[in-house]
Each structure stands twice: as structure tokens, then as C-alpha cells.
Amino acid sequence: MGPGATDHLLVDVDAVPRPKFRVRDLTKRSETTGTAILSKLRVDIPAGLVVGVIGPSGSGKSTFLRALNRLWEPDPGSVFVDGVDICDMDVLALRRRVGMLFQLPALFEGSVADNVRYGPLLRGVKLTDAQVAKLLATADLDASLAGKKGTELSVGQAQRVALARTLANEPEVLLLDEPTSALDPISTQNIEDAIVKLKKTRGMTTIIVSHSVKQIQRIADVVCLLVDGEIVEVLKPHELSEAKHPMALRFLELSS
Ligand SMILES: Nc1ncnc2c1ncn2[C@@H]1O[C@H](COP(=O)(O)OP(=O)(O)OP(=O)(O)O)[C@@H](O)[C@H]1O
Ligand SMILES: [Mg+2]
């Protein structure tokens, strides 16, 4: 590896003693054009923190997140969770440990409770009404919603049901891809509160992609700046204005 930003980054990441995720030379090329979408991405994700990922549109943020629970198959030897290559893991077991929420919630047919019970049922476990209520509460929802149809909810409520459904699998990591971009400010705050609470009460590791620099500054402990398929800086949220990469600076100017 040559000198420059990446070396600076490695100093940072090697300070993480036992990262939740270790990402080494993660590369993805477009199947049609062969151009690099992610190029030799290297980063460590510390356990028990909220890690923000920001960067211009098309820089590879969603592609990066989706590699971490094998929504596409990274090359062996490029992504490790607790030191184990994710390619060597059972993919369903990996996705239980590493849950994901997208921009828009996609609830299954049936009631809110059916949705929350879905994951555990696949393993033959039927959650009690009290367990469903507790999961809804963790996602900042009232238990009275349990009997409602998924289709009768607002987008903000549905996103929180999707969060409760993910939490029902007792994940160790949450991957959140712009989870609040379709939500009003109050629903956004509810989701942010839930993320921070999960970190404090369960040591949850969260990786959140957001277009909102302000949101990242509210909840993240560390921020990764992704530009053209590479992590160009890893910073503390209050140090974002000290970013050195020209594209990163421009992005920050435009988004603040
Ligand atoms: N399945 C695919 N096949 C080919 N190219 C893809 C595919 N998915 C994404 N890309 C390309 O990869 C690049 C990164 O896309 P990605 O969705 O990861 O960006 P992003 O940073 O999440 O952008 P946004 O902020 O708009 O969500 C883009 O140039 C996109 O066109
Ligand atoms: Mg995206």
C-alpha cells in the first residue's frame, strides 16, 4: 500500500482492539461496466458504538452496508465479524446477528404482531404478547398497535415496526441505510432515541448511512467519509469540518 490517507486511516483503525467488523480490501466492480464501485475499502468498526457513514450520492454507501450481511457476496477474506470471515458463516445466522433496515419499511402481510414474530417463528419460537409489547416499546411504539394491520400504519410507525421486527432476532449489529429519510422530525427523533438507547442498554453496534450531517452529529461516535468507493477519512462527529479530502469538504459544505 502506498503512503497517504489510507495509512493515516490504518493508524486509526489499528487502535481498535477488538473490532466488531474488520473490513480489508473490500472491492466490488460493476457487473456491466467493470468499473470499481468499492475499491480496496479498509476499515474497522468498533463494537458497541454508533458509526455513521456519509458521502456523496453514488459513492458506494449502500453497497458497503449490503456487503456486511451478504446481500451481495464479498470475496473471502474481506469482511470479518468478531474475527470470523462472513463468507464462512451460514448466511441466515449472519443476518440474524447483523440486522438491516432500509429507507422505506417493507412490512409483511398480517398484523404488526405477526411482523414482529416473523424472525423467531422461523426458528420455531413463538413470542408471547408480552415479548411483542416489549419489542414494540423498544422501538418507541405503543403495545396497542400490535393488532393493527401493517398496511394501516404511517411510514414512521411502519419503520419502527420494522425496527422491532429486526430486534426480535436479537441482533448484535444494526445496519441502517438512511432509515429516517422518509420520516417526519418526530418519527426521526424516536428512531434516533431508540438507536442511542440500544447502544447504552445492550452495547449494540450500529452502522448508519445518512444524508444528514446533523443527524450523524447527534448520534454517531465515529464517522466514516466514503468518496468514490473508498473510505477517505474516519473522524469524530465534531471534527467533520477538519476533513482533508477535497470531495469530503465539498460534500460537507453542501450538506450543512
Ligand atoms: N447492482 C448494481 N450494478 C451495477 N452498479 C451498481 C449496482 N448497485 C449500485 N451500483 C452503482 O454503484 C455505485 C454506488 O451505489 P450505491 O447505491 O452504493 O451508492 P450510495 O452511496 O448508497 O448512493 P445514495 O446516496 O444515492 O444512496 C453507483 O454508481 C451505482 O450506480
Ligand atoms: Mg444508498
Number of neighbouring beta carbons within 10 Å of residue 165: 26
Spatial distance between the Cα atoms of 2 and 24, rounded to a whole number of angstroms: 15
8-60 pLDDT, tens digit each = 343 344 456 689 999 999 999 999 999 999 999 999 999 999 999 999 999 99
CA nearest ligand 1 atom 31, residue: 58
Specify the pLDDT at position 251. 80
CA nearest ligand 1 atom 14, residue: 60
- The residues placing their C-beta within 5 Å of ligand 2, an ion, are 62
Here the cell at position 149 is 394491520
pTM for this predicted structure: 0.91
CA nearest ligand 1 atom 2, residue: 30
CA of residue 20 relative to chain centroid, distance: 13
CA nearest ligand 1 atom 6, residue: 30
112-149 pLDDT, tens digit each = 999 999 999 999 999 999 999 999 999 989 999 999 99
Specify the pLDDT at position 204. 96
* Ligand 1 site-directed mutation target among 31, 32, 37, 224, most atoms within 8 Å of CB: 37
- Cα 65 to ligand 2 centre (Å): 9
For 90, what's the count of Cα atoms within 13 Å in the CB-facing half-sphere?
Answer: 4
